[in-house]
Amino acid sequence: MSDILISGYYGFKNAGDELILKAMITDLRSYKPDVKITVLSAAPNETSNSYNVRAVNRWNVFSVIREISKCKMLLSGSGGLFQDTTGTLSLWYYLLIILTAKIFRKTVFVYAAGIGEIKYAFNSFLIKKCFDKVDFITVRTEQDKDELQSFAVSKEIIVTSDPVFGLELPKPETKSTFGKKQRIGIILRKTKNWKKDVKIFSELSDLIVENLKAEVIFIPFQLSKDIKLLNLIKNNTDVPIDIFTWNDTEKLLELFSKLDIIVSMRLHGLILSAKYKIPFVAISRYSKIKNFLQLLGEPVNNDCSEPNKIYAMISEKIKDKLNSEKVAAVVRALQDKSKKTAELCISVLTHS
């Protein structure tokens, strides 16, 4: 029997979600070293080997039901599971897991959830119905709480923070500025505007290399979805650029420790930037990016449609750098909040 069954977007080689899982497992074990954890994963063998947990195939209905029936608590999260912009079926999957756990009278703990854009009223109705049945709800930001309350969720909602804020990172590489090219990491995702993005970021790469003499490194956070876009950008540039592929999160963290500036569309690229005190430029097309910038007290720039404007922001960051002390203080507070989520979860488990 597992103490905790974790349901989330795991086993898909998505860097953000794998970092979330790593952080959650580490934090839960810090409060209860002998806690028995099982993860629903798209790649159970890989998940089991990477995190020293039991893992089962999330697509095997019989295995999922068996694990739900045997666990003490379902932990749903973390990450942006509850949204329908990438498709309604994935949202329904996570809600169905929650409902199944309640049918078996299991404790359900929603762990640092991110509530994304909901396009369909029926889906917001389903979220309300499911969340009113769970035992504890924690969310990443005040905006996530507001979103749930707009759905008329009646349960208490506790604001914590993203688990990755609590992740212990490898010591950053000491950066020598003498005779060294700056390394600029760019983290994108394929969106409906991908054709425009090919033009924007190939031209941006040209500007960076030609004017700053910097090294440009594109980092696919989800290889299966990002690599085609990045190859198109690479083929459209007039300068050499690198595409960094990773097999495990340790390699990714090692790369981050060597970067000087980061341009990111992805939340966890920005979170790692803040934790490593690396200046960043956020491409803020999504509400979770805007929420993150507001947390740090950083301006939200919605106009990232022209390479010249993004280049100007990069140049400004090189001159001024990030207000590291201000950001470090906010990150420390968010790290403490992320640890509190695990502490609360273990407390609930112990008393359930």
- pLDDT for position 252: 92
What order do you get walking across the sheet with 157-159 strand by strand? 54-57, 37-41, 4-7, 73-82, 107-115, 136-139, 157-159
Distance CA 22, CA 53 (A): 11
pLDDT at 175 over 70: no
Q: Name the superfamily (CATH) of residues 183-332.
A: Glycogen Phosphorylase B; (3.40.50.2000)
- Between 166 and 174, name the one with better pLDDT: 166
CATH of domain 4-159: 3.40.50.11720
Helices (H), 266-323: 267-275, 287-296, 307-320
Predicted confidence (pLDDT) per residue in 239-251, tens digit: 999 999 998 899 9
Predicted confidence (pLDDT) per residue in 66-116, tens digit: 999 999 999 999 999 999 988 899 999 999 999 999 999 999 999 999 998
pLDDT at 179 over 80: no
Domain ranges across the chain? 4-159, 183-332
Q: Three-state SS for 18?
A: helix
What's the predicted TM-score (pTM) here? 0.93
First to last CA, the chain: 15
At 317, is the pLDDT very low, low, confident or very high (cuts 50, 70, 90)? confident
Distance CA 280, CA 68 (A): 41
Task: Give kind and range of the element (H or E) at residue 124.
Answer: helix 121-131
What average pLDDT does this structure show over 186-215?
Answer: 93
Do the beta carbons of residue 219 and residue 254 sit within 8 Å? no
Q: Is the dihedral of CA 200, 305, 307, 285 positive or negative?
A: negative
Task: Give kind and range of the element (H or E) at residue 262.
Answer: strand 261-264
At 174, is the pLDDT very low, low, confident or very high (cuts 50, 70, 90)? low
pLDDT at 271 over 90: yes
pLDDT at 176 over 70: no
- pLDDT for position 320: 67
- pLDDT for position 178: 43
